[in-house]
Structures are given as structure tokens and as C-alpha cells.
Amino acid sequence: MNNTSYESVMGRKNEIMKKAVGIDYNVFESGDIRFDYEKMMRDTGYSLDEIQKIQLATGVGNTPLLELKNLTKLARKVAPKGMGARIFIKDEASNPSGSFKARRAATAVYHAKRLGYKGVIAATSGNYGAAVASQAAMQGLKCIIVQECYDSKGIGQPEIIEKARKCEAYGAEVIQLTVGPELFYTFLRLLEETGYFNASLYTPFGIAGVETLGYEIAMQFREREGKDPDVVVCTNAGGGNLTGTARGMIKAGADQTQIIAASVNLSGLHMASDIQFNKKSFTTGHTGFGMPFSTGPDRSDVPRSAARPLRYMHRYVTVAQGEVFYMTETLAQIEGLERGPAGNTSLVAAFSLAQQLDEDKIIVVQETEYTGAGKHVQPQLSFARDNGIDIKFGNPRDEVPGQNIILPEHPRLIQAQEVDLNKLRRSYINHCIDDYGQKEISNEDLDFLVQETKSSIEFVKEIIKEKDIKISE
């Protein structure tokens, strides 16, 4: 019997992962900084056409494209004359489990069944758990969802508890844990003990599943408007949403569309802090995931993450918690669409960014999510108030995460804030050099870092020079 101590289990993590995912990640490694990302993605073994068929079989995909005409009118009222792009959303809430993550889950669970696994496991406190549980039910597989749910006092956030309810409704066993390192340890133990498939968010199968979303956006706009959208806004957390969507757009030939990441600003709050766990009002789509997963994507639950957001984003913006709550209510009251907070994070950004574009331009929010009791504005704000958060109307720029939530007193105060992408790129490159203890890097490593950061050879060389690292011939 295997030693189940924390140190022993963590020491076996690569062995456990290889068995649970069916991928030998060593095949893609070079021994240096670079690895063969595109080969890893190709080795999923599924073409875009095959994935579309897999998803179609369980009712996933082909979701409607909706124009938000009333929200566009509102944006134009507060924008300079002649400005105010048309705002659209891809209504992913119409997927079986209520979010775009059904696309990831459909591919992963199908693959698990094809390989002969009896069940699937996913570590997630979000919509992905519900998606995996839904697809497992359709495919006749067992399902376990491991969820970081409570602080040490046993108090859980309404949104996370709502998602646990949804997972259980689909027949999954939900294991709820307190915040901290026990999540990954418990996840590894379960994979080893059950022999189930790791339906990770970050495998090539999961990311390839999202490519259909980007591909559909391009095809639907060409059919409807005769052109590709000018801007696609993606809510960014672990990076898979943006990565998969961008790759799908590129496969459709829509490589001129600007891809913009959006996250809720939770700067100053530590995601693994027991004290700060319930000081935030958003469980995903925030900077607590978006920033570290952009600058260090391989911190995920597989050796090499297939989500590499810096490779694909043209810009990155943040929005305030109060702005997202405000936009959630606005969407419901002027468009008649009640949707959850994840997609509305991007919608806030789109509302702001649309005012910087001409009226003939098109900006699309590439996902919506279902809403439920714990995701509604009032339970979330009530929970925040119970945890000492001051809630008021004013200017969202004055919001301090963990202290207050400021709802905009006028829509003109909704303003997405630009993130310095070069700062993130610099951080990513520094991580790579430090993590691998490199004193010298090859030209192949240099090219890899350029691709990973969507930058230039000159930019990467400048950072390498600052660290006194040599480039081998």
C-alpha cells in the first residue's frame, strides 16, 4: 500500500498524473526552458471537426449569438459622438450545464470513456465541476468533484455552495474542503485510490474543447454580419477560456480580431488565505487566478498546462467588483437576460471598451453563464456585508478589495483599467529563468519565450541581459 503522507503523495504527483491523464509529458520536454507546445496540442488526437461532433452528441455548442442593442444604446449615450461599438454576447448559458465549460468537459469525459476509465475527477469550485458532472452522467461514468469551499470556521461562499448543489444534482460526489494546500493533496490521493481520469481544466483535451467556441464566433459573425468581430473579450482566470477561444478564432482564419482578457480586480487579497477567503465576492474570473496563471501557467494540476494566455492576448484589463454587480442587474433589467457573474465580468469590460471604438465596430463577449440562488447579486452582497465589507454607491475606482464594494452611481463611471502586459511578460520570463536555474539559454529557448509572451526577440533579449544570462550559439 502506498504511503499517504503529504510528502510522499506530493513526491509521486508526476507518476499519479501520468496514469490519470494518459499523457507522458516528458515526450514534449527539451530539458531546458522550452517544450513543444504545439506537438502537445496536436497529440490530443482529435481534429476540430471531431470535437464538434463529440460536443454535438451531448447537446454542447452551437450556442446563440445575441446583440445587446439596449446596452449598446446606453454605451453610446455616455461615449464621445460617433463612438460606441455594437455589443454582442455568445450565450454559452444555453449549454447543458449552463456555461462554456461544457465544451471542455465534453471532450475530456469522452476521452476518459474512450480510454476505458470508470470515472472522472476534477478539482474545481466553479462551473467546470457542474460541466464534468453533467457530461459524466451522459456518458455513464462515475464522477467526483473536489471543491475548495469553506474557511476554517466552516463558512462557505454562496456562489461556491450553489455550484456544489449543481454538481450533486447531476449525480456527482462532491468533496468539500477548507482553503489551503489540502485540495491538491486530496485530489492526488483520490486519483491514485480510484484510478479515475483526471478531467483537468488544463489538459490539451480541455483546451481543444474550447476551440470550437472561438471557431463558432468567427463563423456566426461571417454569416450574420459578413465579417469577423473587431474585438473578443474573454473573462480570464486560469487562462483556458482565452487560450481555447483564441486558438479557435485563429483556426477559422480570424487572426486580425483583437483578443482582450478581463478579470475582476482583487489585488491585495491572497487566494490561499483563510482570513481573506471570504473577503472576496468572486470565486473565479479574478486577478487572484488571472495574474499568477498568466505569469506561471504550469502551476496547474498537470505538469504542462495547455492554457497559455500570454501567447494570445493583445490586451488585459481589470474591472471592479461593484461594476460587475451593477452590470449583472443592468443586463437583466434592460436586456431581459439574467446571467451569472463570470460572463458579466467581460461584459463590463466590453461596455467600457465599446466607447473607445467607432459605432460600426463589433465587440463580442464570448461567454455567459447560468445563474442560480447563490450567484445572484443580493446573496453575494449580503454575504459581503456579513463579512465586514462596506457596500455603497460611488466611483468604482475608489474600491479597495476586501474592504468595500462600490457600485457605480452612473454608468459613465464604468471604466476598465489597463494592465501593463510588458510587466506580466517580464515576470513570466523571469520565472522561467529562475525556475530552471538557467545560466545560459539557447536560441530555441529564446524563440520559445518570444512565442510564450507574444513579444519580440529584442524584448526578451533585454530581460535576459538584465539577468546576466548568456545566449548560446
Do 8 and 184 contact (CB within 8 A), yes or no? no
pLDDT band at residue 149 under the 50/70/90 scheme: confident
Specify the pLDDT at position 419: 98
Taking residues 223-242, what's their average pLDDT? Answer: 97
Question: Confidence class of residue 468 from pLDDT cuts 50, 70 and 90?
Answer: confident
Distance of CA 234 to CAs 126, 223, 250, 275, 309, Å? 17, 22, 15, 30, 10
The predicted structure's pLDDT at residue 248: 98
pLDDT per position as a tens digit, 71-130 = 999 999 999 999 999 999 999 999 999 999 999 999 999 999 999 999 999 988 789 999
> Considering only CA atoms, which of 330, 317, 328, 308 is closest in space to residue 264?
317
pLDDT score recorded for residue 63 = 98
Contact residues for 242 (Cβ-Cβ < 8 A; gap 6+): 234, 236, 259, 261, 307, 309, 312, 313
**Environment class of 274 (CB within 10 Å of its CB; exposed 0-12, middle 13-18, buried 19+):** middle
Distances (CA, A) of 31 to 228, 446, 451: 40, 14, 18
In this structure, of 184-188, 232-236, 294-298, the range with the lowest mean pLDDT score is 184-188
SS3 35: strand
433-449 average pLDDT score? 87
- pLDDT of residue 456 exceeding 90, the answer is yes
Measured at the CA of 274, the angle between CA 273 and CA 279, to 5 degrees, comes to 80
Q: How do residues 301-360 score in pLDDT, each as one tens digit?
A: 888 999 999 999 999 999 999 999 999 999 999 999 999 999 999 999 999 999 999 999
CA distance 177 to 182: 8
Q: Quick one: pLDDT band at residue 300, thresholds 50, 70, 90?
A: confident
Give backbone dihedrals phi and psi of 159, rounded to 5 degrees, phi first: -65, -40
CATH of domain 54-97+205-418: 3.40.50.1100
Average pLDDT over residues 141-153: 91
Count other Cβ atoms within 10 Å, centred on residue 8.
10
Taking residues 10-35, what's their average pLDDT? 88
**Composition of the chain by helix, strand, coil, percent to 5:** 50, 15, 35
172 has a pLDDT exceeding 90: yes
What's the pLDDT at 473? 64
Cβ atoms of 406 and 322 within 8 Å: the answer is yes
| Single-letter amino acid code for the residue at 306 | A
Q: What mean pLDDT do residues 237-250 have?
A: 97
398-403 average pLDDT score: 97
Residues 6+ apart with CB under 8 A from 389: 279, 281, 402, 403, 404, 405
What one-character DSSP code corresponds to residue 353?
H
Rounded distance between C-alpha atoms, residue 152 and residue 309, angstroms: 33
What stretches of 127-181 show up as alpha helix (H) in DSSP?
127-139, 158-169
161 versus 90: the higher-pLDDT residue is 90
pLDDT at 2 over 90: no
**What is the average per-residue pLDDT within 36-57?**
94
* Grid cell of 195 as nine digits: 484510478
Q: What is the pLDDT at residue 131?
A: 97
- The pLDDT, as a whole number, for residue 338 is 96
pLDDT for residue 439 is more than 80: no
With both helix axes pointing from N to C terminus, report the angle between 421-435 and 443-453 in degrees, rounded to the nearest 10: 140
More confident residue, 273 or 349: 349
Instruction: Return d(Cα 195, Cα 383) in angstroms, integer.
Output: 38
What pLDDT is attached to residue 405? Answer: 98
The answer on pLDDT for 437 being more than 80 is no
- What local confidence, expressed as pLDDT, does residue 273 receive? 82
Q: What is the pLDDT of residue 283?
A: 84
Which tens digits make up the pLDDT trace of 73-90? Answer: 999 999 999 999 999 999
Segment 403-413 shows an average pLDDT of 97
The closest alpha carbon to 446, from 8, 157, 34, belongs to 34
Closest C-alpha to 272, from 168, 395, 177: 177
**How many whole angstroms from its chain centre is CA 206?**
12
322, 265 contact by CB (below 8 A)? no
**pLDDT for residue 308:** 98
The stretch 124-137 carries a mean pLDDT of 92
Q: What is the mean pLDDT of the chain?
A: 94
Confidence category of residue 1, pLDDT binned at 50, 70, 90: low
Burial environment of residue 183 by CB neighbours within 10 A (0 to 12, 13 to 18, 19 or more): buried
Share of the chain above pLDDT 70, in %: 99
